[in-house]
Structure 1
Amino acid sequence: MQQDEFSNPFIRMATNKVRESLNLIFMLSTQAKDTDKKFYFNEDGRRSMGWPPHITNMYKYRMMWDVDYNRLFHMCIISNCSELEFFFKELFDKYNHLPDKENNFFQKFWLVVKELEKSGVDFTPVQQDIELVKIAFQVRHIAIHNMSIVDKRFQRHTNGLGTLGQPFPVDDKLVGDIGSATTNILKHLDGALPPLSS
């Protein structure tokens, strides 16, 4: 979606920020493993650190500590949801017809959607996007609070997604789908909310 498709400068700016923050972390998450494989240690440095002879590059070093590169995809979801949460805080501050809310309210995406619906925003055209971003907020919750391990609460809030006791799988497709869904919701708000008076 291009910048000129947005008519509300506030929504346009927020969309750019959300998208580009996600793009930055997504780029890092897709390149990190290959970058680490190309980052070789010199022999003196390796010996001075006391690493075994097979630790010749950054990838092997990270594997020595069981680093999970997939965790970076989870960070993409965390970033996307955090940027969206911050956008909603600003939205409720800037639009006088929206009620004052405590900061922790904006972590609960479904409550924000309900409040915007009460103010007259019809999310029917982007309902599938809303459902996907609801899942993203649940993924963010377990990524932050449970090392991405699926628990009963997560399954209850996502209609049974994931395997209990296992990390919830996040890949580049899911990250891309959530990024697109977020942009679609913001574009919908661009048409649903009046421009701010200057």
Structure 2
Amino acid sequence: MATDTRTRMIEATALLLRRRGYHGTSLNDILSASGTPRGSLYFHFPGGKDQLVIEVTRDSVADVTERLGTALAAENDPAVAVHHIYQSVGRMLEENEFSLGCPIAPVVLDSPNDMPELAEICRTAFEQWIGLLRQAFVRAGVPERRAQALALLVESSLEGLMVIARATRDRTPLLAVADEVAALVEQAVLAGNVAQRADAAV
């Protein structure tokens, strides 16, 4: 039962944060959504709301990082992997009826600078996600500098497109951009491989 109570608090907080951000999620909201008494929260999270939010955000980041890494590792061609990622995000939005997007974007927009640990989790999350994309592009032959720019492009477009899709309640923009970005990645891979062969021939 104790595990169930803790799990309910974590799941409720994760949903509330994705919908309302840090400041828009009150302790009473968490207790109401999870159906738990105040004493239970402090039993499981002595640091109160802040400790709970930090743990939930860390878990959410780990989940996205794992899924992104798996998606990139599943394909030898990063262009195909990227296309699948856009499609997967589109399906996720459609399945939750466009009510939930990136798990940390609402927290970032809340400017959690008064909580350095939370701000650091969000900052490193983007570094990890961009880093995974960059590494996949470099492995396929894209030069490091261009791979970094492409990774930034993919991550920033996904974040922006999730907002657009939620506003329009339509995943079509994600699918349209998926084709364009995948084509850019494919071109970068081809150019990188041509340059490598030219260098090897010298």
What TM-score comes out, normalization by structure 1 length? Answer: 0.31
What TM-score comes out, normalization by structure 2 length? Answer: 0.31
Larger helix share, 1 or 2: 2
